[in-house]
Amino acid sequence: MKYVYLAIFTPLPSGEYDVRIPDLPGCITCGKNLVDAIEMAEDAAAMWLCDAEDSQESIPSPSEKLDTAKSQFVNFIVADTDKYRLENDNRAVKKTLTIPSWLNAKAEKAGVNFSQTLQTALKQQLGVD
């Protein structure tokens, strides 16, 4: 499910940003720069909304306007709970693959953990942690 909320961004002297989404009580985050702050706000909102969905709580309606202090500004935040769930789902998924017999024999003899090795290689190939 996709949601759109208004967020209040407060620039800090360090160049970082404090971000609050008033319609989602307690949904507060920060970012080291504006791009990071927007990404962190989207992540925080999606996590807050996933929890509300899972608990079958009512989802707050988004405000149409927010009042801000002089140094603050408002920006739209898109929270996609379906995408958030996919990116944070750590359940194991079984994959079938083929490798040469000689390689399998050497790996088994060396006690290689095939699942861990594949995960490590995929993370490195994709550039993810």
> 2-87, what's its fold?
Double Stranded RNA Binding Domain (3.30.160)
- Rounded to two decimals, the pTM is 0.73
Instruction: Indicate whether 95 pLDDT > 90.
Output: no
CA separation for the pair 18, 20 (Å, rounded): 7
| Amino acid 92: pLDDT | 82
CB 42 within 8 A of CB 3: no
pLDDT digits (tens, 9 = 90+) for 105-116: 999 999 999 999
Condensed to tens digits (0 to 9), the pLDDT of residues 14-35 reads 999 999 999 999 999 999 999 9
Kindly report, as residue ranges, where domains of CATH 3.30.160.250 are found in the chain. 2-87
**Residue 74 pLDDT exceeds 90:** yes
Name the more confident of 17 and 86: 17
Task: Return mean pLDDT, the chain.
Answer: 95
* Residue appearing with tokens 């208004």: 6
pLDDT digit string (tens) for 36-63? Answer: 999 999 999 999 999 999 999 999 999 9
Supply φ then ψ for residue 79, to 5 degrees: -115, 120
